[in-house]
Amino acid sequence: MYDRQYIPLFLDLSSRKIMIFGGGNVGQRKASLFSKFAQVTVISEDFSEEILALHESNKIDIVQINVNEIPSDMIRSYLEGAFLVIPATSNRELNLKIHLIASDMDIFVNSVDSKGNVIVPSVIKRGPVTVGISTLGHSPALSRYTRIKLEHTITPNYADMAHLQDELRTNLKERIDNQPLRKQILWDVLEDDRIWDAFEESYEKAYNIAYDIMLEHIGNHADKDSKEQLD
């Protein structure tokens, strides 16, 4: 049943070329998503208003051509240097043709008709905290349902906590050589409900509580070291 094996990855696509065939609703969604992270070109005879708006704001490139009449050698030329191709036309046979050519060229494929070797997950993003959810194409509805459920748990405060943890880690590395102690302090901060509640009021208040926790640990560790030296 689950014949393909996928591994979740986070990729930097800023210097990568992504080709989308089809300027309709599906192509529009893909272009809107990937234009935030990569160099996107949409190839189609007609384009949605949103795709045209993305092009006019220099977020994507477009190539206007009747995709149903593109010969294989021209498809190959368009795909030259691409990292990912998305066949998103209304013609399933053409999508399959593009898929096969891309696979032959060792280019990743995100297919809208069948399973390619790239699946775009449903995403929860809270600042740098990013969660991707996928059923590997078996149930997009379940992916969305799971995302909606998790959004109630992974609140916007997670972005604040990520920032606080980053600041605290930097501070701890300057103060403490003991790695297990640094780890314990960071974990205690994560588990302290006072800090999560304080984010609702201000980041500064939450940080001050975390800072006090750090100082308490440092003091206890210093007392322990002094006692061991006396013994």
Question: Please, what's the largest Cα pairwise distance for the chain?
Answer: 86
**Residue 50 confidence (pLDDT) above 90:** yes
pLDDT of residue 5: 84
Q: Are strands 108-109 and 39-44 parallel, antiparallel or unpaired?
A: unpaired
**Residue 124 confidence (pLDDT) above 60:** yes
Cα–Cα nearest to 51, from 71, 6, 21: 21
Asked if 96 and 104 touch (Cβ cutoff 8 Å), the reply is: no
**Residue 16 phi, psi (nearest 5):** -100, 150
Cα–Cα nearest to 43, from 59, 23, 57, 29: 23
| pLDDT band with cut points at 50, 70 and 90 for residue 3 | low
Q: Is 136 left (phi over 0), alpha (psi -120 to 50) or beta?
A: left
| pLDDT band with cut points at 50, 70 and 90 for residue 136 | confident
Asked if 107 and 87 touch (Cβ cutoff 8 Å), the reply is: no
Question: What percent of the chain is modeled with pLDDT above 70?
Answer: 94
pLDDT of residue 2: 52
